[in-house]
Chain A
Amino acid sequence: MESVRYEAPRELSAAIELLDSVEGARVLAGGTDLLIQLRAALIQPSLLVDLKWIPELTAVSLDEEGLSLGAAVSCAELREHKQIERLFPGLYESAELIGSEQIQGRASVGGNLCNASPAADTVPALLATGARCVVAGPGGTRTLPCERFATGPGETILGRGELLVSIQIPKPAPGTADCYLRLIPRTEMDIAVVGAAVSVTLDASGSCTDARVAQGAVGPTASLVPDAAAALVGGVPDVGRLEAAARAAAGASRPIDDKRGTVRYRRKVTGVLTRRAAEIAIERARQRTR
């Protein structure tokens, strides 16, 4: 904690300049991961760049294109946008599951991505919605699918001077709904043993025309499972399709043994949660096609 400085730039360009020019600079959004790492001396930054005064990082907008969520918007603020709950119930419930009310008052979805924990709750939910990351840096701005943002536990594609500005989620097609479920050994305040997110689009006949299936806490990063999505698409999602999606999800999982669960247990639960999340997403989508 020696000689760490603090800056709260008002402009994105100023934040990029600081991150690029100061060796050992780190961004500060909600701080719920960063400040604990700082106290435990796991990191020794020379400068903390507070992003919460930068308009692009704190804006939330919803229009015909979809949702734009500033990377530093807290989960508590996200939950106050009832339109987000209506359009993306899975993303909403993933943000609502993180820590306590106090933690949600600070923790951001952008921070959840950047911290790159394999067990991050909002990341599978983002993947299921087809979200994209807007990254800005000294070389300009680039966007990429959220599934390419984390490259391993605690590792992201961010280069020197780069930061996550916002998350863009395309407006869902009619008849689309999502769901996120996680397993923890209690009802609140724990880290996912397994997380599963599913988004489905149904047509007027109830046939599934599009799906995205994602999983968390069962691999080095959250990931999409294209085979599980493919199992759901092409007809009315019946028991056979749900079971095929569950098998594909369990088969694609690459969990580790640790105190939260064994490989075998996590594999099994991945299938169970994927199926349950799919069932809930399908029921939500059905209500939207009525």
Chain B
Amino acid sequence: MSPVVLNTIEVILNGLMTGVMYSLVALGFVLIFKASGIFNYAQGVLALFAALTLVGFQTGQVPFAHVINATFGTDYHHWGEGMNTVLAILLTMAVMVLLAWLVERLVLRHLVNQEPIILFMATIGLAFFLEGLGDLMWGANIKVLDVGLPSGGSFWWEDVTRTWAAEGTEYWGMYIDVLDVWAAGIAVVLVVVLTLFSQYTETGRALRAVADDHQAALTVGISLRTIWVVVWSIAGFVALVAGIMWGAKSGVQFSLSLIALKALPVLILGGFTSIPGAIVGGLIIGVGEKLFEFAIGPMIGGATENWFAYVLALFFLMFRPQGLFGERIIERV
């Protein structure tokens, strides 16, 4: 094979890996949107908050250390050596469930039957609040998140692909980050588990029922409040997974919350109500932006990854506003 073909394959592979990461974030949006019609602007911040909390537990940080020290003149920073990663992940999950419960109790409950735009505004408020809370609790410095997943380029893959190149050409093999491969694998498992859960369990059916028809769900005995806590907990869980992956890749920093913006074109492509849509949308955006940068980027000065996804989304809005897999929007007059 000629190096150009091999390079293209490499770009596509890396695009797929990036796409999986976008899908992970988009998935959290879809879950909440399907069940309650709320576009949860805070999903990105949820991922950030989960990652911050996880690092905090792992390294044994004292929450609110700055506040405590400033108020009482003390000098606490760590309460010990930290804890085992698995335990820290479980504890972080517990925090996310608690957060879901608080969101229902303090925000959603008071906004029942309000316009979607009002709920959307509430989630913007929630996003800012959580960002501030994360800062107060764990500090604003960039943190390293290490959950024990391998990372760095795969030499094995480099060696294998080097042999594919045609005789006499200069080719040094493909670069693939092992962490990206792990992230893709975990995302696949997550989606399969979520699908099985929603298909074959009572709570899964209740979730789908609420997503389908609130009134009918009430008449068969489903408590909407309970379901919302469950949905937000699951979204928190997805955010935790996304936070771990992004955090491990690029460090836990506050710009992490901005990946939520990248999820928006993914959702427009895939449709706001479709889980497969979120996956496929993420992959298309990931591959699309990498390929575009590779093929067209050099001609127009590069840095196309910053805007390509949004322009693609704009085209989709013109021709297929419900996305690839979304429910067709039919408004009766």
Partners in one complex: no
Interface residues of B (CB under 8 A from A): none
Partner-B contacts on A (CB < 8 A): none
